[in-house]
Amino acid sequence: MARGENKEQNEIVAHMKNFETVSNSDIKFDESFNIKIDCNNDIGIMYLRSQDKICYLKNKDKAYQLSKEDYDFIINKVEEE
């Protein structure tokens, strides 16, 4: 995300705080997570893929399941750029 988009960044980070960890998942971080969102705040880094609502955050150690609402919100913000 470009600098100066603080409102959008804050909204995305707020959504990121509510993600649920995917339990017992064999989904591993790979090249399919090709949508990267970096809010330039050292915690707001997220990797998404288009085929489902799974994402990884900055440290890439756990898969998270996004709700449809969170996924739609974030994808819409990305597409606005």
- Note the pTM of the prediction, 2 decimals: 0.74
**Could you list the pLDDT tens digit for every one of the 81 residues in the chain?**
444 467 877 787 777 777 877 876 788 999 999 999 887 766 678 899 988 899 998 888 889 888 888 889 888 877 776
Query: What is the domain extent for residue 37?
Result: 4-79
Tell the burial category of 66 from Cβ atoms under 10 Å away from its Cβ (0-12, 13-18, 19+). Answer: buried
Total number of domains in the chain: 1
Inter-residue contact 55 to 66 (CB < 8 Å):
yes
Cβ neighbours of residue 73 under 8 Å, at least 6 residues apart?
A: 11, 12, 15
